[in-house]
Amino acid sequence: MKSVRLPHDRIVWLLLVVSLFLYLAEYFIFRRGDEIGFSFMSNVAFLPVYVLFVTLMIERVLKEREREAMMKKMNMVIGVFFSEVGSHLLRDFLEFFSDGEELSKRLRPSVHWRDADFDQAREFLKGQDVVLDSRLGDLAALKAFLAEKKSVMLTLLENPNLLEHAAFTDLLWAVFHLVEELQARQSLQQLPQSDLDHLSGDMKRAHTYLLIEWLSYMRHLRSDYPYLFSLAVRMNPMNPQARPEVV
Which pLDDT belongs to residue 60?
80
Kindly indicate the confidence band of residue 1, based on its pLDDT and cuts at 50, 70 and 90: very low
Kindly indicate the confidence band of residue 47, based on its pLDDT and cuts at 50, 70 and 90: confident
**Residue range 176-187: mean pLDDT, rounded:** 91
Which pLDDT belongs to residue 22?
75
Which pLDDT belongs to residue 143?
92
Which pLDDT belongs to residue 247?
66
Which pLDDT belongs to residue 36?
67
Considering the chain, what is the average pLDDT of its residues?
A: 83
Quote the CA–CA distance of 85 and 16 in Å, as a whole number. 60
Quote the CA–CA distance of 25 and 28 in Å, as a whole number. 5
| Other Cβ atoms within 10 Å of 169 Cβ, number | 15
Query: Each residue of 149-162: pLDDT tens digit?
Result: 988 888 888 877 77
Which pLDDT belongs to residue 102?
73
**C-alpha gyration radius of the chain:** 30
Which pLDDT belongs to residue 225?
87
Task: Evaluate if residue 221 carries a pLDDT over 80.
Answer: yes
Q: Which residue has the higher pLDDT, 72 or 5?
A: 72
Query: Each residue of 195-212: pLDDT tens digit?
Result: 999 999 999 999 999 999
**Residue range 172-192: mean pLDDT, rounded:** 90
At 132, give phi and psi (nearest 5°): -110, 145
**Residue range 3-9: mean pLDDT, rounded:** 59
What is the dihedral sign for C-alpha 177, 95, 229, 109? negative
**Best-predicted range by mean pLDDT among 44-53, 89-98, 127-136, 195-204?**
195-204
Quote the CA–CA distance of 160 and 172 in Å, as a whole number. 14
pTM (2 d.p.): 0.72
CB contact at 8 A, 87 and 210? no
Residues of the chain with pLDDT > 90, as a percent, come to: 25
Task: Evaluate if residue 5 carries a pLDDT over 60.
Answer: no
Residues of the chain with pLDDT > 70, as a percent, come to: 91
Which pLDDT belongs to residue 177?
93
Q: Which of 82, 119, 124 is nearest to 103 (CA)?
A: 124
**Residue range 219-231: mean pLDDT, rounded:** 89
Kindly indicate the confidence band of residue 6, based on its pLDDT and cuts at 50, 70 and 90: low
